[in-house]
Amino acid sequence: MSTSTIFPRFEGKSVLVTGAGTGFGREIAFRAAQEGARVGVHYNRSREGAERTVDRIHSIGGEAFVMQADISTWEAIRGLADEAFAQFDGLDVLVNNVGDVATEQMSWHELTQEALDRVIDVDLKGTLLMTHEFGSRMVDQGHGNIVNIGSTVVVRGSARAPQYAAAKYGLLGVTKSYAGAFAPTVRVNTFAPGFMETGATLKREDWKSGRREKLISQTPLGTIPPPEVVAGTALFLATEDASHITGAYMLADGGFNMVGA
């Protein structure tokens, strides 16, 4: 998709995307830049990936900056907030994308204390603290939007990695709690993509041994998309068109779950 066909919903705005060196975060960051945003590209370990994201944004004439932090600690989160708010002279949008999906775990039998702690520390505690720290500063500045990247795993659970389902279910409570706390100044929402063909997904053994085909057969729209297909959908929740949406859980999964009202 060329930049000329994309409406600049974030012209003059600043957007920070966590975990933007790889996968879905990379595509959200690039899409935000395509839509006119100045973009903070956060990473923890994948600096090379983050720099590639920045280079890609620069290639279309966009403005982007690399920012590093381990969001499992509040001290690091405060430092990231200091850097982001100073770099952009405030911050319009935070996309809490970073998360550990326990990719290497193929069954609940393989759960370890380390895997449990790692997922809960990043996916739940880290996102809560990011929302708390950045959201409170957005309240002080008088505006802002937070989009937490959730998962459709909250609908069906996960026999593969129960701690991942628990963390993402907890994220709904984080979103609703802070949506109430920050209203009416700052909106907080959860966006839940379904299965996407990211680099990590494509490497999984179960994905290569028939799971992909099974899931496609169960998806009414008949595709498992690459992440760029739903990056703009995630960002919708931070636009003016979504100005009356807060505390919500928005699903984009090709009809796979079709939850009832």
- The dihedrals phi and psi of 95, each to the nearest 5 degrees, come to -110, 110
Half-sphere exposure of 222 (CA within 13 A, CB side): 0
CB 64 within 8 A of CB 40: yes
Residue type, 110: E
Catalytic residue among 43, 164, 178, 249: 164
CA distance 258 to 38: 35
Collapsing DSSP to helix, strand or coil, 136 comes out as: helix
Torsion over CA: 77, 115, 252, 260 (sign)? negative
> Which strand (E) or helix (H) includes residue 67?
strand 63-68
Residue 8 CB contacts under 8 Å (≥ 6 apart), including other chains: 35, 36
CB 187 within 8 A of CB 246: yes
Report the candidate in 125, 191, 116 with the shortest Cα–Cα distance to residue 152.
191
- Confirm whether 249 is a catalytic residue: no
Report the catalytic residues.
164
